[in-house]
Structure formats: C-alpha cells, structure tokens
Amino acid sequence: MAAVSQNDVYPVKAFGLAARDLSGVFTPFNFSRRATGEHDVQFKVLYCGVCNFDNEMRRNKFGMTKFPYVFGHEIVGVVTEVGCKVQKFKTGDKVGVSFIIDTCRECETCKNELEMYCKKAAATDGFFETSSYGGCSNIMVADKNFVVLWPENLPLDSGAPLLCSGITVYSPMRRYELDKPGIRVGIVGLGGLGHLAIRFAKAFGANVTVISSSLKKKEEALDKFGVDSFLVSNHSEEMEAANGTLDAILDTLPVVHPLDPLFSLLKPLGKLIIVGAPETPFEVAAPSLLQGGKILAGSAAGSMKETQEMVDFAAKHNIVADVEVIPIDYVNTAMDRIEKSDVKYRFVIDIGNTLKSN
C-alpha cells in the first residue's frame, strides 16, 4: 500500500529513515510534517526505540503497512515550539510520544479514558488505518493531548522503551489490580516486555515468578532481576508442583504456546492476561477456564493518563529498560538481529547525535 504523500501538504521539512517496499530496508528519506498548530507540540527527536512491531511492519506482516514506512513509536526529545493554546508544555521541556497521536475524543472509549481502543484512533507509525510518519526522524509534531511530560530524573535513552513495552505491562497490572503488595504474579517470557514487567511488579511489591522455556535464563532472572521463583515451562514436575499458587499471570510471549498449563498455575478466580501477539490463534480447553472460574484477558498498551502515570512511577522507582544504544546507520542490522532474538532487551537509536540530513 502506498502512503498519501505529505510533502505537498505540510510545510515543515523533516528527514529520517524509511522502508520503501517489502525488502524492509531502511534508507534516508526526506518528507514534511505539519506546522505547529495552536494545540500542538513540536520537538526535536533525541532517541527512538526499536520494537519488534517495527520489524514486523517493515515486512508488511499485518497487511497494513503503508510505504514509505518511517517507523518509531517510542519517541523522546526536547520541545522546540508549542502552539498558542498549549499550557502544559514549554520550549526546552523533555517529552515523549507513543503510538497514539489522535482519536475521535467523542466515543465511549475515549470518554472513559480508553482511547487506545478508539476505532478512529490515529497512530504514529502504522498501528491503525490512519497513521503518520514515525519517530525515526529528526522532528515530531503531535497534539498536546498525546504527549507526555518526561520526568527530569528519567533517562531518555533507556527510558524510551517504556512508551511501548513499559505501558504494555503497566496498564494491565493496574487495571487487573496486580499492583498490590504480596500479590503472586507470574510473568511468561523474559524479553523486552518480560524484563520490564518484572521491574514494575517488584516495585508494586508483588511476589514474582518467571515462567520460561529456557533454563539458561534462570540465573539471570533470579540474580539480576531478583524474581522470587523460576519455572521451566516444559518441566512437568516443576509446573505441577506450582499448580494453584499464582493470583495472576502476565503472558508476554510473541509466539503461540500452550495456555492450559498456565491456567493450572492459577488460583481460583485467577487471571491470565495476554500482552504478546502471536500470529497463530490460541487454543484453550473449556475446563481450564471453568474449573476455578479463571479469567482469560488481553491488553494493548494504555491510555495517555496511564502513560503519564507510568513514566512518573518509573522515575520514582528507577525503572528503565535494558538497552543497546545504536547509531542511525545500524538500524538495518538491528532489525535483522531482532528477527534472531539477538538483543538484550531493546535497541534504542541515538537520533540526536547520529541522524544527519542527507
């Protein structure tokens, strides 16, 4: 699908990287952004996170990529201009933008502060039918309602992935009341989402169990992340011994896997919350839900109110992602490494220092 060109519509010159076809190769790209409107915030992009979703979008995995495709929905920078009706932000402020850049603001979901589920939502870089060019670029312009004020003591580079991975795990923890001290929470997968889920859960005071198919991750989970226990998912005796011990499980895996063994780990009325997005549908045996009245739920990102709350909470509790900061010319290599799961745990591009106009 070809994107509607902004170059003849918008006056502000911008540049970044774009994939132009299914090869998924990113090359320099000149384009335009809109002028700063009365409700807008314009900022210089300093760092942009790289998400597995970006890698999937460059190959049009979901059938909705619009080329040229400028990726990036974990965007942080410094404000250079604000509209005349903007009061929350000023020039020089550090800010962040995630994947939502607009909604209808009138539907029931918007009014209930669930704007991430608005059917008319517009995205930074391809999440929805209406999308803009993403944050792998020198500047960004966004409506003030979809910009978060960045805490002074929260690093920009290792904090950038919080705008996707962080809010994706934080929001369901709050919504499903996993933020209470002593709650026994299981986290499936120790990757980009999983390692942040552990950090938020521990900050909430939860007792955390990591569930992984890889025994090699046990030492890291226990020693580095301080989890309380570790289960190898294909070790039947370990899993059976832990049956009925968890209040809730946050499942972060992006590949299909059996859910019935996870339901067995839950206490009666326990919740299994899916935040990963496998291509293949899950299969669940009805008794897994019926026995114990267990709940299967899903969650995608979070509201703007939650996102601001999340970065403030992260700053207070020193929660950041483990990142590998890369220059702009390493992006294609980084994407290839993501396909091989060769990163701990997120790539972040140093846009401010390495993106130069061509």
Per-residue tokens: 342: 């060769």
Report, as an integer, the average pLDDT of 5-26. 85
- pLDDT greater than 80 at residue 67: yes
Residue 213 phi/psi, 5-degree rounding, is: -85, -10
**Mean pLDDT over residues 154-164, rounded?**
98
State the pLDDT confidence band at 278, using cuts at 50, 70 and 90. Answer: confident
Q: Are 310 and 165 in contact (CB under 8 A)?
A: no
Question: What is the per-residue pLDDT across 111-153, written as a single tens digit (0 to 9) for each?
Answer: 999 998 999 888 887 666 556 899 999 999 999 999 999 999 9
pLDDT tens for each residue of 346-355: 999 999 999 9
Confidence of residue 235 (pLDDT cuts 50, 70, 90): very high
Q: How high is the pLDDT of residue 87? A: 96
**Percentage of residues in the chain having pLDDT higher than 90:** 84
Does the pLDDT of residue 55 top 50, yes or no? yes
**CA dihedral for 59, 61, 67, 71, sign (positive or negative):** negative
- Tell me the helix, strand and coil percentages in the chain, rounded to 5: 30, 30, 45
Spatial CB neighbours of 32, under 8 Å, sequence gap ≥ 6: 6, 7, 9, 10, 11, 12, 13, 14
Question: In one letter, which amino acid is 96?
Answer: G
Mean pLDDT of 209-236: 96
Helices marked H in 8-145 — which ranges?
A: 52-58, 108-111
Number of neighbours of residue 7 by Cβ within 10 angstroms: 10
The pTM for the full model equals 0.94
pLDDT given at position 306: 97
- Least reliable range by pLDDT among 26-40, 108-122, 284-298: 108-122
For residue 30, give the nearest of 48, 18, 47, 45 by alpha carbon: 18
Query: What is the predicted pLDDT for the residue at 4?
Result: 41
Residue from 37, 251, 269, 252 nearest 261 by CA: 251
Burial 50-74 (b: 16+ CB within 10 A, else e): bbbbbbbbbebeeeebbebbbbbbb
Q: What is the mean pLDDT of residues 182-195?
A: 97
Tell me what the mean pLDDT of segment 79-87 comes to.
97
Distance CA 299, CA 252 (A): 11
Residue 179 scores a pLDDT above 90? yes
> How is residue 73 written in tokens?
């929905």
**pLDDT for the residue 277:** 85
Instruction: Label the pairing between strands 12-19 and 26-33.
Output: antiparallel
What's the pLDDT score for residue 5? 46
